[in-house]
Structure 1
Amino acid sequence: MQIHNNTLIAECSTYDFKEMLERKKVKSWLKSVSAFANTDGGSLFYGVNDDGVIVGLEN
C-alpha cells in the first residue's frame, strides 16, 4: 500500500473504501467488517473516498 499525492494506492485484489463511519447506522459499516472477517480477508480503508483520495475521519 502506498500514499501518493494524498491518494491511497492499494495493491491488494480485495479492498473497499469507506469515506466515513455512520454513527446513526452502525450496523451498515459493521456488516462490512464482518463480511471481510468471514471470507478470505481483504482490506477496509476508512476515511478514503471511492476514488482512493484520503479524506480522513472526523473526531
Structure 2
Amino acid sequence: MTPEQQALLHKAQRSLEASQNLIEQGFYEFAVSRAYYAMLVQTTILFLNYLSEMPKR
C-alpha cells in the first residue's frame, strides 16, 4: 500500500469513528453521511490498487 493509500485509509477510519460518535449522540442522518464517505474513500483505495496492478502498455 502506498503512503497516499495509507493516508486515505486513515481518513476513512476517522470518518467511521466520527460516524459512530454521531450515532451515539443520536445524529443518525449525519452518521450515515460519514459512513458513506468512509465507504467512498475505501472504494477509491481499492481502485487505486487495481490501477497500480494493471500491466503497463
TM-score, normalised relative to structure 1: 0.28
TM-score, normalised relative to structure 2: 0.29
Instruction: Name the larger-Rg structure.
Output: 2
Higher helix share: 2
